[in-house]
């Protein structure tokens, strides 16, 4: 988040006034529709409570920091992507615990499973605040004070953060090999469906609100790229590193990057094809 903040300026928050429909669509897609669709998938699939809780937690997290890079590859509205990442991060200390509490509370079996762990709304709020908002504020302050240094550091810190996330995912999988083998096929299928539903939610929200193609792409990517690293930290802090939950968050962390890149190149190919057709 510190690395992301080095690329964010206070002017990025002005998107709320400059493009209110796009920001509203992003908030609707990210914080309401995705958790609701996740709950619907859980209701239909009825996976193990740990798997279901992992899915709901991932859906409750803000957008992942790689979404801005993928938006640039997809020829989406990158400025909007940066703004949505910044805005969702700022509101996530409140929205993430609220969404997790509400949607998981709709299922009695998930409530019963959660009672095995010591978890409170205020503890989760404090954790998200420290992990997201504090480094975001520090990064923006550093950029303001040392803009040239921040510009030089930004790319290197982003690469380093991705390597750290990959390492974190590997450790999570290695520490939960038994759960990995037990839930492998279920987790693979559910993450595939869940992530595809997330991308589709963003795209069709933009289409329903009659937003531009570039904005639709941004909403697609912002909704489909989730902060799975935050989900993993919450799982290790409050759920004792529960294997089923960790597998979902860890696999999301791998899958959404690959799926996002494929989608970005598909958008590029679509643009190239449209250009060729227009020439003929």
Task: Give 177-195 pLDDT, tens digit per residue.
Answer: 776 777 778 888 999 999 9
Radius of gyration of the chain from Cα atoms?
18
């958790």: which residue's tokens? 35
Beta bridge partners of 63: 226
Please count the structural domains in the chain: 1
Whole-number pLDDT of residue 10: 67
Among 28, 22, 31, residue whose Cα is nearest residue 214: 22
Please list, residue by residue across 110-148, b when 16 or more beta carbons sit within 10 angstroms of its beta carbon and e when fewer do: beebbeeeebeeeebbebbeebbbebbeebbebbeeeee
Answer whether 55's CB lies under 8 Å from 41's CB.
yes
Helices (H) and strands (E) in the chain, counts: 15, 0
pLDDT of residue 203: 95
Q: 34 vs 184, 188, 219, 238, CA distance in Å?
A: 23, 19, 12, 23
Q: What was the pLDDT predicted at 88?
A: 84
pLDDT number for residue 33: 96
Q: How many CA atoms lie within 13 A of 221 on its CB side?
A: 35
**What are 105's two structure tokens?**
């509370």
Q: What is the pLDDT of residue 173?
A: 73
Q: What is the largest CA-CA distance in the chain?
A: 64
The pLDDT assigned to 11 comes to: 66
Q: Which domain holds residue 245?
A: 2-279
Phi and psi based region of residue 63 (left: phi greater than 0; alpha: psi -120 to 50; beta: remaining): beta
**Can you give the pLDDT of all 280 residues of the chain as single tens digits?**
777 777 776 666 666 667 788 889 999 999 999 999 999 999 999 999 999 999 999 999 988 778 888 888 888 888 888 888 888 888 888 888 899 989 999 999 998 888 887 767 777 778 778 877 788 788 888 888 887 887 788 777 777 877 877 787 777 777 777 767 777 788 889 999 999 999 999 999 999 999 999 999 999 999 999 988 888 888 888 888 788 888 899 889 889 989 999 999 998 888 777 677 666 6
The answer to whether the beta carbons of residues 201 and 37 sit under 8 Å apart is yes
Tally the residues of the chain: 280
The three-class DSSP label of residue 146 is coil
Contact 116, 52 (CB under 8 A): no
pLDDT of residue 244: 85
Q: Which residue from 18, 33, 175, 178 is spatially nearest to 82, judged by alpha carbons?
A: 18
Q: How far apart are CA 121 and CA 105, in angstroms?
A: 13
Strand partners, 226: 63
pLDDT of residue 99: 93
Cα separations in angstroms, 109 against 48, 185, 275: 9, 22, 52
- Calculate the CA 42 to chain-centre distance: 18
In CATH, what number is assigned to the domain containing residue 56? Answer: 1.20.1530.20
Which pTM value belongs to this model?
0.86
């Amino acid at each position: 988040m510190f690395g992301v903040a080095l690329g964010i300026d206070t002017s990025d928050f002005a998107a709320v006034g400059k493009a209110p429909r796009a920001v509203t669509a992003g908030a609707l897609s990210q914080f309401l529709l995705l958790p609701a669709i996740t709950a619907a998938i859980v209701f239909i699939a009825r996976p193990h409570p740990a798997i279901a809780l992992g899915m709901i937690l991932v859906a409750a997290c803000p957008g992942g920091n790689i979404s801005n890079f993928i938006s640039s590859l997809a020829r989406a509205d990158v400025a909007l992507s940066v703004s949505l990442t910044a805005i969702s991060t700022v509101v996530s200390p409140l929205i993430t615990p609220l969404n997790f509490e509400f949607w998981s509370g709709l299922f009695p079996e998930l409530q019963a499973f959660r009672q095995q762990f010591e978890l409170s709304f205020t503890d989760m709020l404090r954790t998200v605040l420290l992990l997201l908002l504090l480094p975001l504020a520090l990064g923006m302050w550093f950029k303001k004070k040392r803009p040239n240094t921040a510009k030089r550091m930004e790319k290197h810190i982003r690469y380093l953060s991705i390597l750290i996330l990959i390492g974190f995912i590997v450790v999570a999988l290695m520490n939960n090999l038994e759960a990995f083998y037990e839930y492998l096929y279920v987790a693979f299928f559910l993450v595939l469906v869940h992530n595809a539903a997330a991308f589709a939610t963003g795209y069709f929200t933009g289409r329903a609100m009659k937003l531009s193609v570039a904005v639709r792409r941004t909403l697609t990517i912002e909704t489909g790229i989730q902060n799975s690293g935050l989900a993993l930290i919450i799982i290790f802090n409050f759920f004792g590193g529960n294997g089923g939950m960790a597998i979902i968050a860890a696999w999301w962390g791998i899958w959404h990057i690959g799926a996002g890149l494929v989608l970005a190149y598909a958008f590029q190919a679509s643009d190239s094809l449209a250009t060729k057709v227009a020439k003929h």
